[in-house]
Each structure stands twice: as structure tokens, then as C-alpha cells.
Amino acid sequence: MAHYSREEIMSSSEVVRNFGAVLSSVVQHRREKVAIIRNNRLEAVLVAADVYERMEKSCESAPVTIGAIDSKAGNSSALLDFLNNNRIAASSRLSSEEIDQQILEEREAWD
């Protein structure tokens, strides 16, 4: 499961209001990523272009067996290997409900 610090989770409206600053913080690697939440659901993750390009290259070059591919997720095995090798925790077996639950638990912990 991917883990996000408090500074890395932002609502979509917060991102829109502060887009220049958010983008700069990611591009300059002051933040590794920004998880964008809409209606209490994780909708997207903003990462720097160089990080995304490394992820994409890793996915292209990694061998993947038929059993490891989810037809909706694409090359998920290679992407998870990249994330794990770069110390980003992730899991392909989490449902959207489990992700939503983690977000709610983290938000409750902040209050």
C-alpha cells in the first residue's frame, strides 16, 4: 500500500488554488509525490516528470509473465517492482474501498 505523509495529501480544490506552488514542490523534489483527493477518494498522484519517466522505462524493460498482468492494470507487476525498489510501498491487491479506508484513518489521526 502506498503511504502518504500529511503534506503529500491534498484535495483537488487545494491543488487548483495552489497549483504553481504544488507543481514546483514536486518538480524540485521537495515533495516526492502529491496524492490528490476528490470526494474523499484518491483520484491521482502527481510526480515529477523524471520520476515518471524512470517508472515508465522500468515497466518497459521488466519482463512480465501472463499471470502477473491484470487486464485493467496493464504492466502492474513491473510497476510494483519499481515502486518497491525505490522504497515506495505499494500493493496491487488493494481495493478502492481499502484505499479509501486508509485515507479516512489518516485524516482522522490528524484531528
Mean pLDDT for 45-53 is 91
**pLDDT(9) > 50:** yes
Of the options 3.10.20.90, 3.20.10.10, 3.40.1620.10, 3.40.50.12280, the CATH number for the domain spanning 6-110: 3.40.1620.10
* 62-101 confidence digits (pLDDT tens): 555 444 444 444 455 555 565 565 544 444 455 666 666 7
- Residues 85-88: contacts with CB under 8 Å, at least 24 apart: 88/2, 88/32, 88/33
Alpha-helix residue ranges (DSSP H) falling in 34-95: 49-61, 76-85
Q: pLDDT category, 106, cuts 50, 70, 90?
A: low
- Confidence (pTM): 0.54
Provide the Cα torsion 110, 31, 19, 99; round to 10°: -50
6-10, 11-15, 25-29, 105-109: range with lowest mean pLDDT: 105-109
Q: What residue spans define the domains of the chain?
A: 6-110
